Amino acid sequence: MKILFFSAKPYDKQFFDHYNKPYGFQIEYLETHLGPHIVNAVQDELAVCVFVNDKVNAEVIAVLAEKGVKIIALRCAGFNNVDLEAARAHGIRVCRVPEYSPQAVAEHTVAMILTLNRKTHKAYNRVREQNFSLNGLLGFNLYGKTVGVIGTGKIGAAFCRIMKGFGCKVVAYDLYPSRQLESSGIEYQPLEAVLGHSDIISLHCPLNEDTHYMINEKTLGMMKKGVTLINTSRGGLINTVHVINALKSKHVAHLGIDVYEQEDKLFFKDLSGSIIEDDTIQRLMSFPNVLVTAHQAFFTEEALSEIAQVTLNSIDQLVKNKEPDNKIVILV
């Protein structure tokens, strides 16, 4: 039973090889992304295992089906990069890891807020240069601030709870408000109200046709001047050009992004010493009040263990023609 990995990194191999012992799948790890350029390399594989920036569109799926692939296993939660209708049409099953560690992403979101606010990254370098002055390091208390959360699913809910612990007022917008969160003191409001009331706004909804560019010139204009905006969800939620304008006008005081709409050409690669052709990310990184991390919010030992275990179990169950115990891992 062969599984072909795309976008594989040394840490994928480490965790999957460890958890594959009881299953004994034959796993081949490829560093390249899956896309139309490489799909013909697939031979006799039962399953392909893909990540966030692999392009699994209708064209790719048609070739996978021709080559006899039966399973597309996403080792991530989001599935905006897979054409589910095409998979259904070709009878290919698609599974994912719906919840590997919401806390990992929620905690990284908090790390981004604290870094931008208290400037610990600057302090670290400054003190090592024996510069002990505090000029330029002024932050603000999180206690008493209003935090707006867009999308209160697993990650958004974990983030809400942490921010409540800081003594923040947490307001939220979701198509499906959670009674449980409401009873713990989270106040649901319409989107415009959340944008207008919040000192810090954090995005935790999926990327789809409705949410693409939900942060744009118009919605940025609804936010308080001096807002802190954080995106650890998907890059396409933010119109990057519009947010750059809002940073230039100082309407947005801090921006933290772990995801970027053109990240597939950059993230998860060591490009040190290369010429970056993407002027938009270069402009973003030139701001002193912008923090970019390269899609690392999920990157904890706990999350990688869960990803490997759930993915291998789902493939095993599908191979045995069984439905995995956890139904929400199956997309098609």
Q: Which residues are catalytic?
A: 234, 263
- Indicate the length of the chain as a whole number: 332
Confirm or reject binding of residue 47 to ligand NAD (CB under 6 A): no
- Could you tell me the smallest distance in angstroms from the CB atom of residue 293 to ligand NAD? 9
The closest residue (CB) to ligand NAD is 153
Tokens 């701001």: give the residue.
Answer: 287
- Could you tell me the smallest distance in angstroms from the CB atom of residue 290 to ligand NAD? 17
Question: How many residues in the shown chain lie near ligand NAD by CB under 6 A?
Answer: 28
Both tokens of 179, joined, read: 């009674």
Both tokens of 236, joined, read: 């396409």
- Could you tell me the smallest distance in angstroms from the CB atom of residue 105 to ligand NAD? 5
Confirm or reject binding of residue 211 to ligand NAD (CB under 6 A): yes
Interaction residues for ligand NAD, span 92-121 (CB under 6 A) = 102, 105
Q: Are the CB atoms for 229 and 256 separated by under 8 Å? A: yes
171 vs 236: CA distance, rounded Å: 23
Q: What is the rounded (10 degree) CA torsion for 49, 50, 56, 59?
A: -50
Considering the complex, state which of residue 90 and residue 211 has its C-beta at the smaller distance from ligand NAD.
211
Confirm or reject binding of residue 258 to ligand NAD (CB under 6 A): yes
Confirm or reject binding of residue 324 to ligand NAD (CB under 6 A): no
10 vs 240: CA distance, rounded Å: 31
Confirm or reject binding of residue 206 to ligand NAD (CB under 6 A): yes
Confirm or reject binding of residue 266 to ligand NAD (CB under 6 A): no
Strand order in the sheet with 2-5: 26-29, 2-5, 47-50, 71-74, 93-95
Considering the complex, state which of residue 211 and residue 228 has its C-beta at the smaller distance from ligand NAD.
211
Confirm or reject binding of residue 196 to ligand NAD (CB under 6 A): no
Q: Which residue stretch of 27-35, 67-75, 263-271, 294-302 sits at the interface with ligand NAD (rule: CB under 6 A)?
A: 294-302
Tokens 């490009």: give the residue.
Answer: 271
Which segments within 134-195 are labelled E, that is strand?
A: 146-150, 169-173, 187-188
Choose among 253, 262, 255: nearest CA to 234. Answer: 262
- Could you tell me the smallest distance in angstroms from the CB atom of residue 228 to ligand NAD? 17
Tokens 């802190």: give the residue.
Answer: 228
Interaction residues for ligand NAD, span 124-153 (CB under 6 A) = 150-153
- Containing 266, the helix (H) or strand (E) segment is none
Interaction residues for ligand NAD, span 163-182 (CB under 6 A) = 173-176
Confirm or reject binding of residue 155 to ligand NAD (CB under 6 A): yes
3-class DSSP string for 216-227: CHHHHHHCCCCE
**Binding-site ranges for ligand NAD (CB under 6 A):** 77-78, 102, 105, 150-156, 173-176, 204-206, 210-211, 232-234, 258-259, 295, 297-298
